[in-house]
Each structure stands twice: as structure tokens, then as C-alpha cells.
Amino acid sequence: MIKRIAAIVLIFLCTAVAWAILGTTIFQRTYSSDSSSEVRVASTWGAPQNQLPPTASYEEIVPRKEVSTENGKKIERVIQDKFTNALPLESSHLSVDLNLEHRQKGLLWYSTYKVGFDGAYSFRNPSDKDQTITFTLNFPTAQAIYDDLVFTVDDVPITLKNEKNIASGTARVAAGKAANLKVGYKSQGLNDWHYNLGNAGVQPLRDESQYGSSAANVAQVRDFSLQMTTNFKDIDFPENTLSPTEKTETANGWNLNWNYKNLVSGYQIAMTMPEKLQPGPLAGRISFFAPVSLFFFFFLMLIITTMRGIELHPMNYFFLAAAFFTFHLLLAYLVDHVSIHLAFGICSAVSIFLVVSYLRLVVGTRFATREAALAQFVYLVAFSYAFFLKGFTGLAITIGSIITLFVVMQATGKIRWKEKFAAGESVPIPDAAG
């Protein structure tokens, strides 16, 4: 008995090493190509987007006199100084529609989305003269397309000049009057969508690096509203961003609203797209966990065969371990061709078929289809499926382990283990169906 247990332990350790190598290979396949895959996805679909509010400004030339002395004579010159004056942003009313469309590259899914952006902004000319105002819009990223572009001032389309990911145009605004700028486009992005309340170039009030903040520079906005609709329910707001002031669940997602009368903040408004279950990392974690499943299966098989006097040679345990390993090996190379759930079902069926068909020949049909099949389903299939339960994996496995310990303790409480070990090799008892 001792020699048989030692041989089983050796088989278990060798299989555990094989699983460690397989799991390492899966993670290497997954993350070695992650950076290049993400670049390819961004190049064909779009990069993460960070939209800034537009700006409005006009140039003013102010003459000034400059007096200099040359050869003892005073010379007076008139210098034309050019100043750029920014118009204050009086109101911002925005609408954002996010539609999530996951895309797979290799062993990873990427959270790609389509976005429809519409903004209505109001700028006021503070001078006492009519001015030619330059309106400027910074696109959220250079790695994207912008379709159905709208750029109007007081509902009049203006001619745009595109340069270095910036669109700009001019319009005449009367003294003291407000100009209503409307911008809109349809685009595509990856992972995150941000709206930065402040303009670039504003210095922060203090250094926030010690707090780990990724917030924007502190800015002030007046009469601000942003309505966001999503086609997904698993919404997630990144750290250091503003939560919506109102939210309403819809049939397909959420209707989120940010409304502020006079806000001073260094935070952005942002949405992180929900991630799909990642097949590569999931298969890797299941492979690393596999020795635990095999340990429970071997432990239960050893207890049952000892109680019933059934002989299983260490070579039988070797083939059972190989059948378990087949599940994870097939899963590792099937998940990048079919969905993770379909791959999991196929691998489970293949592994259970190998074990049942083998033990049917070794012990008998009844033992193979009842005790062995049930034990494999619980400790291979159910334990591995616990990794699909995000946040409950450890708890589910712990509960299963405690139940197993309770059942085995109750079933073997009256066994005299000293006699079992002293008896040496058990005498094979034919199965009823065999």
C-alpha cells in the first residue's frame, strides 16, 4: 500500500509540473502578443478617446509707442502688439452615445466601442467691437475616424481648417453677443472614453502626484450638462472621475446625466468599457489550479477503491492523470478558435469520455459511469468552472472542498486504517456489471 501511494504521489507531482509548464506557455502566448495586438486593434478600429471642450478666441492689435535714442537723437516708433483673447465658455450641453462592440485578437478580447458625440456650446464676445472669432476643436485622438462631422456657429456651417488633429474655423460675432457653437461626429474608440472639463495648458493648483491622481487640471464650468447613453449595463467609472448626478437603467443599458450649474473640479467625466471574459488568462489560471482538482480526484479514487477492495495500479492512475491533462491541453489551443464556453464544454466532454471509457475496461461500467464520472465532473469540470464566477471562485472551491472532507470523513469513520495498510495490496473484487 505504501509503495502504491508513493507511486501515485510521483505521478501527481510529474503531472503538476506539466500543468505549470502549460500554464506558463498560455500566459506567454497571451501577453507576449498583447502589446502588438492592441496596437493593431487601435490602428484598425481606434484608440482611447479624451475629448476636450472647444475654444474660441480673437486676435487684437494694440499699438504702443516706443522711444529710443540713436546718435543723440530720440526716435519714436509705433509698435503693433498682437494679443489673443479667449472668449469665456458660458454653457455646455453635451450628448454622448456609447455602443460597445468587443473584438478578439488571439487569446484576448478588446473593448472597442462606437461613439456619437454632439455638443452645443455658448461663447460670449466680451469686447465692445464686432470680432472675427476663431473656434477650435481638438479631436479626442489622432487614431480614429470622424464621420458626419458637424461644425456650425449660430446654425451656419463654417469652413474648417484641419491641422494636427485640430479643426478650426472663423465667424463674425457682434459686440457683447453670444455665439452658439455646435459640434458633432461619429467615431470609434478602445477601452475608455473621457471628457476633460478643462482646457490644456491650465496649471494645477497643487501637486497631486502624491495622491496617485490622474485627474485633469482644476477648471470651472458653468451651465453644464452631459447626457450619456450606453448599450451595456456593466458600467464602470475610472478612479478620480465624476459620478453621474442622475442615472436611469434602460432595457439595453443606462441613461446617465451629469448636471452642474457652477462647478470647480479637477476631475474628468469618463466611462470604462466592460471587459469580456478573457479566454487566455482564464485558461492559464485553470491550468495552474489543475493540480488541486487532480489531488481531490486521486484522493477520492484511493478512498473508494480501498473501501470497496478494488485494485487500481499506479499505471491506471497515470492514464487517469493524462486524461485530466488532456482537458487543459485541448482548452489552451481551442479557446482562440471558438467561444470560451463552447471550448470548455468540448474539453469537459472529451476528458470525461476518456476516463469513463478507460475505467470501464479496468474496473467495470458501474464504477466508471457512477463514482469516477461524478468525481471527475465535480473536481475537474465544476472546480474549473468556478473560475467563470468572478469574485466567487475561491469561495466556491472552498465550499466544495469542505463538503468533500465531510463526506469522506463520514464514509471512512469506521475504517481501521492500520489493518488496511497492513493488509498490503487489496484483492480485486469484480464489479457487478463486470
Give CA–CA dist 398/296, Å, rounded: 12
Say whether pLDDT at 214 is over 50: no
Domain ranges of the chain: 2-32+277-422, 48-272
Greater pLDDT, 205 or 239: 239
Instruction: Output the pLDDT for position 393.
Output: 84
Q: What is the mean pLDDT of residues 66-86?
A: 75
Say whether pLDDT at 24 is over 80: yes
H/E stretch holding 288 reads helix 279-308
Residues 367-423 have pLDDT tens digits of: 999 889 999 999 999 999 998 887 788 888 899 889 988 888 887 877 777 776 665
Instruction: Output the pLDDT for position 429.
Output: 41
Give CA–CA dist 321/86, Å, rounded: 73
Task: Look up the pTM and report it.
Answer: 0.70
The strand ranges marked E within 52-204 are 55-70, 73-86, 89-100, 103-105, 108-110, 112-124, 131-138, 147-153, 156-157, 161-163, 166-173, 178-190, 192-195
Give CA–CA dist 343/279, Å, rounded: 10
CATH code, 48-272: 2.60.40
